[in-house]
Structures are given as C-alpha cells and as structure tokens.
Structure 1
Amino acid sequence: MSEQRAFKNPYPDYTGPGCAQDFFDMQGNLTQHFANCISSKISELLAVMENGLKNADPRDCTGYTGWAGIALLYLHLHSIFGDFSFLQKALDYVSHSLRSLTQRWVTFLCGDAGPLAVAAVVYHRLQKPHEAEESRFAFDSLFDLIMRLFQICDAVLDSGQNLSQKNKIQEQTPLMYEWYQEEYVGAAHGLSGIYYYLMQPGFVVGEDRVYHLVKPSVNYMCQLRFPSGNYPPWVGDSRDLLVHWCHGSPGVIYMLIQAFKVFGVRQYLEEALHCGEVIWQRGLLKKGYGLCHGAAGNAYGFLALYKITQDPKHLYRACMFADWCMNYGKHGCRTPDTPLSLFEGMAGTIYFLADLLQPTRAKFPAFEV
C-alpha cells in the first residue's frame, strides 16, 4: 500500500564525499553551479505561481492555503536574497490578506493570527512602526484571555493531564490530546507537534514539568513507532501508510530531535535517524511537492538531521529531494486543492528550495523554532 502513495526513490544513496561534490563542499556550502540551478528554478516557479495566483481565492487570508502564506514566502525570499522587491511583494500580499480576515478563527495557520503576525514583520522591515504597532495590537486582541505564554503552557498542560486522566491512561502517558475526537500523533495537529513546543527553552513550562510530564509522554510516543520506523496518524491506527509532515515520521522527527537536545538521551536521536530512513525510502510522495504532504516538506527532515549531526549524508539526501522538486510537474503527481499555496502547493516548494541555499539556517516554515 505504501508504494502506491510514494514513488520509488530513483537516487543513489550517499556513499561518501565523492558522490556529493557536484552539490556541496566538505563544509556544507552548496557549489556555485548547484546554487545557481536552484536560484534559476526559484525564478521560474515564481513566474508560474504569480500567473496562477490571478485566479486564486480572493477571500483566503490564511497562511496555510491563502495570501498570508504567499506573503510569508516573499518575506523569506527577502531574507535569503536581500532583494527589496521581494519585501514589496510581501507587503502587497499581506495587505490583501488583512482585507479578508476571518474575524472568527485565531490560529496561526488557518486563522487571523498568521496574517497579523506576518504583517507586523513586513511593516517592521519596511520601517513602518505605526503600521507594525497596529498589527501587534490587533494580534494582542485575539488573545485577550491568554496574555502570557506561561498561561498558555499551563492551559496546554492542564488539558493534556485532564484527558489522560479521563481516559485512564495516566500511567502510560501523563499527557494526551485529541482533535476532532482523534488522538492524532503527527506534527500538524497531534502529539508530536505539541511536545515539540513544550520542550522549547523559550516556553516557560519549567524543568520539573518537562521531565515529569513531557518526557514520559515523549517516551509513550516512541512506543507507537511501527517496525518500519514510521508512526501512525493517530493512536490505535495499525496502518503504516502516511509519510507526511502532517502525519508520520517527517513530522515526528522534530519532537525526537528536540528531546535529544533537552534530555541528552541518545535513543531519541537514534529514533530520529530511523525517521530519516523512512523519509528517504518513502518520502517522494505522489501527493506532490508541497510542505504539508509532499516532497519539499519531507526534505526538511533531512535538513533537521543535518543540523543536529553535521553528517553530510543528510544534506545530500535533502539535495536529492531538491532535485526532484526542481523537476516540478514531471512525475505525474496529483494536483493539490490549492496548487500554489504555501502548505499544499508551489509556494512551499519554492520556500524549501530557497532554504536549501543556506542549509544550516533552514527551518520548516511556521513550525520549526
């Protein structure tokens, strides 16, 4: 079944510096030729994207599938290339997004928080402090009931403990969460994404609670791993099918790497390396080239492994997935519902290609800290 969801990986695996010399040097710097190829493909895809956006949904303000996501892409391109025209594009698209806020949803990816946050950064870079403050105040008003990060963390931990106790599984895992009555595992709206953030130093969870609540919950997550190294989309699902950032190893990998950083337990890194093998074998998805469930999003797992291990094998694998993405549209992939968007479509692929130009600074957009 898994073979029906992914293409067979046509690339030879890393065997040593010789096989990577056309892509990067011993220090991990991309060769000029490969960097030029990436930059050229970015320009080509941007032209296609811009033309297609003329027919995009004018009401979709979101970062996930709408105008804020396109603005975030151009903000990223400005960071990578330093071209002011990219910043102006970001302003144009985030302005479009602000005119169509949902006035209902407050989440970052699918609600109003994302457009407002992107707008604040765009205005700041353009040295427009008044507009930046307006976006900041609007963003603050969305969270008038939860004004501090400490309170957010408290609420998240309380919720997780309550569900664990309700389900009588507190001896297995002190924390549990559900979304639409399913105990999802993946990074997008599941356990691994929640634990990844709870382990961040910037979150004021507290060392004691990290060790006594989060760590055993991460250990419980590790027990869900399939023999293949992949993870189920939700607790109790025995089907080893999905290798996406949203469901499966490509998203769980970030939790495991962060657990290794925080607790220093080598086993977490070993588990993350297993995830990398799953991505290499099954990560060229027939769903497409996007971030949420596509080759570009899966490739970020290799970059995360490269940053923590400095093993050139992982950078090489990311370059091979980039080569796949640079042949955009030539593999017979399915067309996403929003084919130009940041998380489902072409904008996300462009974002990844730009990130690969500076691999040690690459971060999965709107997720990785």
Structure 2
Amino acid sequence: MFLRATALQPASKTQTPAHLEQLDWKRTYQHRPVEAFRARDRHGEDSQERRLMARLMCHDTATSDKFYAMDLTVDQARKGRLLFEQAQEETTRSRTRRTRPQSEKRGGDAEIRCGKEESAARIHSSETPLRDRLPVHISRMGDQVSKLKQLSSSDMEEQRFFQNQNQDYVDQAGSGSGSEERANEPLDEEGKVSASFQKKVQSKIKDLLQQMEEGLKTADPHDFSTYTGWTGIALLYLQLHRCSQESSHLQRALDYVKRTLRILNGRKVSFLCGDAGPLAVGAVVHHKLSNTEESQDCLNSSVLSDSDLSDELLYGRAGFLFALLYVNREIGEHTVVSAILDSGKSLSQDQKKTERCPLLYEWHRKQYLGAAHGLTGIFYMLLQVTRNTWGGRHLHAAAEFVRPSIDYVRHKKFRSGNFPSSLSNESDRLVQWCHGAPGVIHTLLMAHQEEKYLKEASDCSEVIWQRGFLRKGYGLCHGTAGNAFIFLSLYRRTKERKHLFRACKFAEWCLDYGTHGCRIPDRPYSLFE
C-alpha cells in the first residue's frame, strides 16, 4: 500500500514520459485521493490510455505486483520509478530509430526527445545501457509496457478477460452417448449437480474460509460496509448458515455483526456502503438467534434522514431500499420509493426524455446503465417493490414508469449482447456486474413476466459465457463470481440445464482461486472486491 501511494506522485516535468504529458496526467491525478483514483480505474470510466497507465503505475498487473513486492525505501522507490520512466523513453527512441527512413534519422534526436533534452542527454552520457542499470523486476516492467502500448483497441479488450476454454453444454436429447454425459460434467444424468462436484465445492469452501479468516487479520478494522468490510463477511456466513444449517456459521455471523455495529458512522444509508447494510444484517442475525430486543434495536435505527441523496445502488436511495426489502423478506415506508420515483421523473423531464425513458437517473452527472451506479440497479429495486404487498400506493406507479424505462435501456444493447457503461459511452468493453450485461440481465429477469425480457436475458448471457472470466479477479462487483450468478438466476427462471452447467463451470474456475494470474484487489478478502 505504501509503495502504491508513492507511485501516485508524478515525476518532475523533465522526467515524465511524453505520452503522459500529452494526457496532462500530472494535473489530472496529482491531487486525486488514492481511493477515488482506484475507483475510477476499477469501474472503467477513464480513457483507455489513462486506465492503462493507472494499472501500470499503481494497480495490480502482474509486472507491477513484482515491483510493489520489493522491499524498498521511499528514496529507492522514487529512484526506481525515475529509472523506469527513463527506460521507457530510451525504448521508444530506439524503436523510432529502427522504423524511420535513414534520411529522417539524421538530426532526429531533437525531434524524438519531444522537449526532454536534459533527460535524454543524461541517458546518452552513460556508457552502460540504462536497462542494465535497472533492477530486474523494473526492467521487466519496461518490457511489459512496451508490449501493452503496441496493442490495438481489440487487443486491449482481450486483456479484460480470459478466453473461455470450456466446452459448452451438450444437449443429450435423443442420445445416450457416454461421451456426451462425460462432457456435461459436473451435471449428472438427471441434469442435477453431481454429488462428487458438491463434495468438491464443500471441501473447497472450508479451505477458502480458513484462507479468508487468516487474511482478515490484516483487514481495515474500521470498514463496516457490506461491499468491502465486516458486514460482507457476516452476510457470507449468514448465507452459509442458510445452505448448511450449521449453527457455527450463524454464530460467526453474529461475531462480525457485533463488530460492525460498534463502528457505524452515520454518513451513508445504503445497504452495500452505508449503515443500512450492517443494521439490516444485524437485525436478521439477531432475529434468527431469537434475540428479539437486539433485532428491534437494529430495525429502529434504520431510518433515512438525509433527503439530499443520489439514487443509485451503492451509495444512494436504491441501496437503502434494498436494506428495507432485505429486512422485510427475512423478518416479515413508502417515502423512499416516492423519492426515487420523483427524482427519476424530474431528471427525465429536464432531459426531455419523458416519453422514451420516464425514469432517468445520474450519478456524478453521468447517466450510468449498470447495476452499481446506474439505471438497471435502480429499476431492479423498484421492480422488487412491485412484487411486495407493502409497496402500497406505489405499486402501480412503479410498474407504470419502470417498464418503459427498461425498454429504453434494452435498445442500447450492442450486437454482442453487452451494454454500454453509460448513455454517453459507445464502447463495448465491460462485462461485469457493475457495468455491462450482467447487471442488466438481473433487471430483465426481474421483469420476465413478459416473454421478451426473459428471451433477451438469455440471449445476453452468451456474451458472459464468452467474456465473463475476468482478469480483474473473482469478486462480485467486477469479477468472475459476479458474472456466475447470471447463470444461476437464469436456471431458476428457466430450469434449462445449460445455465446450471455454465454456472458450475464458473464455480470451478473460482474454486481454483489465485491460480489464474488475476489482478489482486485492494481488499481481496472482501465480499464484493
């Protein structure tokens, strides 16, 4: 962490590579907080070049992992970075000399330097090649950057995911071939998850829980959130208790709930990143343990007091609404739903989109489509209200405004079956829960009473099967596990074996945790990262 923070401090003007100067990288990133910087890179909203430099300079590519792992002092780290940048200039200069016509090479040094005469002079004055003066790990970083900078746009997209090497499900209708049955493992002849695969999953869960508990010893003691903190771990154990009925899992959930309730700060209200998540999970855990008074205390604390909020799922009203829905479902007022509807109608009118998209929302002045910050995450929560009797007078209003708004989003689909991250973005890049088809599919399935939504959800799942094994890691938000839930949801709706088979293949991949060379998130033992 220390070295990553150091890497955010730009070098002096004479030492900064030309392509970074052209992007005005120093002015853009010098005063940005570390977490905000990583968040923008994580959710993919920077330009392609800036995201590339973010990964190389302060994120978790395979090469930078080696660099950060070195036990360096501050001065050594800064010197290493300076040498690294100079090596990049030297590499660029050498490549340019090899490719330019001979007539253009005479006197070409000044042109190649691009205003960096001092830095270039220092490099040429050394008798020893600069690459030989670099530590081996930093030298290899230069090789990696050189390769990445030559990638085309399509090659860059390739770097976001692993090629799916799995054979797809084989329909055995009218065939009793033993080879086809083996091809469909881990499903048995009846199309159910085989006993051997279930045993493998259960064994791996125990191993990963031990690994997680060990890793949590160094986690942030003040992070109470569901997204990256202790409440997410409590929710994990609560889900394990639901599946296994082991009392030890429920007791472990209580241990983490007690920890979170001591450190709430009242700054945010959502389920994933605010107080509502810990309070909702705490209410459910205490309820299951018959601690009536403690459960009621958690419920009484779940009050929305700030009316000046965003509407999206991670930090805003939709996130608070999810907390209310969760408590209502597990334990079982309208002002939250009303505020979300009024806000969406107001922005739609301002943007003159009332007829096409009656409900429109934005976060940080950008109209996202994905589940985390965008339209589909909000629509999903509003559709949940229409399925609950407590929706009251908002039941009809939500259905009336949400469905045409979902249709508006459907028309933004790419030919691949994926969706853009925002209304202003036309690139087919991200296939993850927070941005792209996975989050949209969950909303389509929630609206599946009409056949067109269910068919479109199934069609869009193909892009997840092809591009869903992500290099970002295994998490729920922007990792492979989050994509796997699409196939579980489709199987519940359709009972088609293909979707269960694909979910198992994603599970197999995730069970080989840490063996694929994925990027390591800042909080690798959290629920969503």
Q: Within the alignment, does 1:32 sit opposite 2:195 as a pair? A: yes
CA contact 2:170–2:184 (8 Å) conserved in 1: no
Q: Distance in 1 between matches of 2:503 and 2:413?
A: 23
> Where do 5+ consecutive residues of structure 2 fail to align?
1-155, 173-180, 308-316, 325-332
Deviations along 1:184-219, one digit per CA (max 9) or x if unpaired, are 101112111111222221144656434532121111
- Distance apart, 1:76 and its partner CA: 0.9
Q: Tell me which of 142, 161, 167 is aligned to 2:351.
A: 167
1:29 deviates by 3.2
Q: Which residue of 1 aligns with 2:404?
A: 216
Is residue 184 of structure 1 aligned with residue 368 of structure 2?
yes
Q: 1:199 aligns with which of 371, 383, 397?
A: 383
Check if 1:4 corresponds to 2:188: no
Q: Distance in 2 between matches of 1:293 and 1:215?
A: 26
Tell me the amino acid that sits aligned with residue 480 of structure 2.
Answer: A
RMSD of Structure 2 on Structure 1 (CA): 1.9
2: CA distance between counterparts of 1:47 and 1:208? 48
Distance in 2, matches of 1:27 and 1:162, equals 52
SS in 2 for 1:225: coil
Check whether the contact 2:225–2:232 (CA below 8 A) recurs between aligned residues.
yes
More helix by share: 2
- Work out the CA distance in 2 between the residues paired with 1:224 and 1:124: 43
Indicate how the Cα distance of structure 1 residues 334 and 304 shifts in structure 2: closer, same or farther if over 3 A, else same: same
**Is 1:234 equivalent to 2:389 in the alignment?**
no
Whether the 8 Å CA contact 2:283–2:298 is kept in 1: the answer is: yes
Scaled by the length of structure 2, the TM-score of the pair is 0.62
2:336 to 152, 165, 170: 152
1:260 pairs with 448, 463, 469, which one?
A: 448
Moved more, 173-182 or 207-216: 207-216
Partner of 1:280: 465
- Residue among 332, 339, 344 paired with 2:517: 332
TM-score (norm 1): 0.88
Distance (whole Å) between structure 2 residues aligned to residue 26 and residue 213 of structure 1? 45
User: 1:5 is paired with a residue of what secondary structure?
Assistant: coil
- Note if contact 1:61-1:102 (Cα within 8 Å) is conserved in structure 2: no
Residue 159 of structure 2: SS of its match in structure 1?
helix
Structure 1 residue 143 displacement after superposition: 5.0
Contact persistence 1:198–1:210 (CA under 8 A): yes
**Which residue does 2:254 correspond to in 1?**
91
| Pairing partner for 1:78 from 241, 252, 255 | 241
Structure (1 or 2) with the larger CA radius of gyration: 2
Aligned to 1:298: 483
For structure 1, list consecutive stretches of 5 or more residues without a partner in the other structure. 345-369
Q: In structure 1, what is the Cα distance between the partners aligned to 2:447 and 2:340?
A: 18
Paired with 1:204 and 1:35, the residues of 2 have a C-alpha distance of 42
Q: CA deviation at 1:173?
A: 1.1
Q: Distance in 2 between matches of 1:96 and 1:330?
A: 32
Q: Secondary structure of 1:199's match?
A: helix
Contact 2:269 2:275 in 1 (8 A): yes
Residues 44 and 238 (structure 1), Cα distance of their counterparts in 2 relative to 1, 3 Å cut: same
Separation in 2 of the partners of 1:131 and 1:210?
33
Aligned equivalents of 1:221 and 1:144: distance in 2? 29
Alignment of 1:117-156 (within 5 A): 117-139=280-302, 141-142=303-304, 149-156=333-340
Q: What residue is the counterpart of 1:356 in the other structure?
A: none
Instruction: Name the CA distance, whole Å, in 2 between partners of 1:300 and 1:343.
Output: 13
**Is the 8 Å Cα contact of residues 338 and 394 (structure 2) preserved in structure 1?**
no
The structure-2 alpha-carbon separation of the partners of 1:196 and 1:204, relative to structure 1 and needing over 3 Å to count, comes to: farther
Letter in 2 for 1:12: Q
Aligned residues: 340
Alpha-carbon distance in structure 2 between the residues aligned to 1:205 and 1:220 = 25
The answer as to whether partners of 2:337 and 2:394 remain within 8 angstroms in 1 is no
- The equivalent of 1:320 in structure 2 is 505
Amino acid at match of 1:88: Q
